[in-house]
Chains A and B, each alone.
Chain A
Amino acid sequence: MSPGPMQILDRSADALAGRIAPQLRTPHLAGTANLIALLMKFSAREMERGAEIRHAENIGMRALFAELAHIVRDGDLRRRLGAAAAEDDASVVLSELDRTNADLKRLLIELHIQVEEAGDRKAERRILKFLSWMASQRAVSIF
């Protein structure tokens, strides 16, 4: 079986940190190599879960828009929230998911502002809970 890209990144990071970094001429170069190895580890994990995380966030934001659009007084924003809620991710390519994710986050910010201005505490708590969940999804562990 050929090694997969995650395995290649992970094992190469181990080799960089464990075998190559200690051979480097200066502590600065060794430290830089170790940091690159850590970034390779992060990237390996992101390769495994990156699409899933973005897709789940996009689903969550659309559900939030469907649930809370009625609070919004601004007709144009309400229409855009409704349209976004009805869409689905057309591609699972990471860059495409990122582009959609960014569009949805812009809408989420607009929605959040409207909810705050309307003084709807329940809806605000719902958004904050979602933001906390989203941040948990994106949290990075160094261990």
Chain B
Amino acid sequence: MSETIAAALEAYLRKRLFARDLQVCGLERIHGGASRETYRFLARYGEGERQVERKLILRRDPPASLIETDRAREFRAYEAFHALGLPVPEPVLLEPDGGALERPFFIMSEIEDAAAASVLAPDPYGPQRDAIGLQFWSVLGRIARADPIALDLGDFDGSTERDACWRNELARWERVIDADEDEPQPIVRAAIRWLKRRPPAPAQKISLVHGDYRSGNFLWSADGGIRAILDWEMAHLGDPLEDLGWALDPLWAHHDPSRPGGMLPRAEAIAIWERESGLIADSDALRWWEIFASVKGAAIWISAAHEFATGRNDDPVNAFSGWYCLAFHNKLLADRLEALA
């Protein structure tokens, strides 16, 4: 399988990089989420007198995707924030039609000697925890502060009206649940009704929302801190508090809910975000977005369970998400709703 992809990729890159001698070496699948197949490889070719070796990452759509996302938008988000100087891999090539590899794909630079934390690992950052935390919440603040229009991302999906963000996002994920729910979800449905009855204040500004900003979705190294923010496939326009609520979700806390993302204490994390974004994390609005985050998570896990149960995507990560993660968010939502009653 890898040999077939390597040969097709080699032929494609020879044309696109004008390098007739280009060779794809060491193509290897790596973990990169359920909504893209991710491979690392080395492209070796001559450029004039020089021999070039580029370590690259291929992100290809799977046969059936967990959540349908637009790889062109993901690629543009990488371009925009890479240009802004945020730690983001350099995007290289985009093929939205995917002819060469049968399915849409894009290629970006590989970040070497860095790794992502496993969501299941306790205390993955060890002695670097506080330094990584400072960087993590600062970068999120900078994403929130950025102007999507100035970054040429103003045509992204989502909301351009500040008072419509919550409604649009809630409707979007409720539609996913409606479509993919294989069994009734009394807790998630109760949470959705709660969110509809108590809308948050309008967004302070429209930002580019990363959509999946959390521990486990960035590469880091002990000596270099955060090297790359990954997985921009759900990026959209909306309320920047949405990303904050998602990043604070206890599912990503590595079993220590007092330290969101397994990094800094909650109050410190929010203070850093406020300082970098220039925005206020109003406690009522943030509570709404945190409950929303668990509903959005549940929607993704319900969808994962559906993909696995129907045989459309038998990646065991879908079974794990539809079981462990959904049970986690159901418990979190039920406890929050009970506490708020």
Q: How close is A48's CB to chain B, nearest CB, in angstroms?
A: 15
Q: Do most interface residues of chain A lie in helix, strand or loop, or is the interface mixed?
A: helix
Expressed in whole angstroms, the Cα–Cα distance for A42 and B316 within the complex equals 13
Q: How close is B196's CB to chain A, nearest CB, in angstroms?
A: 11
Expressed in whole angstroms, the Cα–Cα distance for A74 and B317 within the complex equals 42
Q: Given that A27-B30, A28-B30, A39-B320 are known contacts, is A136 also in contact with B338, CB under 8 Å in the complex? A: no
Q: Given that A28-B30, A42-B324, A129-B338 are known contacts, is A135 also in contact with B184, CB under 8 Å in the complex? A: no
Q: Given that A105-B183, A135-B187 are known contacts, is A35 also in contact with B316, CB under 8 Å in the complex? A: yes
Question: Contact between A136 and B331 (Cβ–Cβ < 8 Å)?
Answer: yes
Q: How close is B3's CB to chain A, nearest CB, in angstroms?
A: 13
Expressed in whole angstroms, the Cα–Cα distance for A36 and B323 within the complex equals 13
Question: Contact between A108 and B341 (Cβ–Cβ < 8 Å)?
Answer: no
A52 interfacial by beta-carbon distance below 8 Å: no
Of residues 309 to 341 in B, which have CB atoms within 8 Å of A's CB atoms? 315-317, 319-320, 323-324, 327-328, 330-331, 333-335, 337-338, 341
Expressed in whole angstroms, the Cα–Cα distance for A134 and B187 within the complex equals 9
B224 interfacial by beta-carbon distance below 8 Å: no
A31 interfacial by beta-carbon distance below 8 Å: yes
Question: Contact between A138 and B327 (Cβ–Cβ < 8 Å)?
Answer: yes
Chain B: how many interface residues by the 8 Å CB criterion? 30
Q: Which residues in B have their C-beta under 8 angstroms from that of A101?
A: 183
B189 interfacial by beta-carbon distance below 8 Å: yes
Q: Given that A39-B320, A42-B323, A138-B330 are known contacts, is A131 also in contact with B28, CB under 8 Å in the complex? A: no
Contact digits for B4-24, partner A, Cβ 8 Å, 1 yes 0 no: 000000000000000000000
A26's nearest neighbour on chain B, judged by CB, is B28
Of residues 23 to 41 in B, which have CB atoms within 8 Å of A's CB atoms? 28-31
Q: How close is A109's CB to chain B, nearest CB, in angstroms?
A: 5
Q: Which residues in A have their C-beta under 8 angstroms from that of B149?
A: none
Expressed in whole angstroms, the Cα–Cα distance for A73 and B77 within the complex equals 52
Question: Contact between B190 and A135 (Cβ–Cβ < 8 Å)?
Answer: no
Q: Which residues in A have their C-beta under 8 angstroms from that of B319?
A: 39
User: 4 other contacts beyond A38-B320, A132-B331, with CB at 8 A cut-off?
Assistant: A39-B319, A42-B323, A42-B324, A132-B338
Expressed in whole angstroms, the Cα–Cα distance for A112 and B333 within the complex equals 15
Question: Contact between A135 and B320 (Cβ–Cβ < 8 Å)?
Answer: no
Q: Which residues in A have their C-beta under 8 angstroms from that of B333?
A: 135
Of residues 120 to 137 in A, which have CB atoms within 8 Å of B's CB atoms? 121, 124-125, 127-129, 131-132, 134-136
B120 interfacial by beta-carbon distance below 8 Å: yes
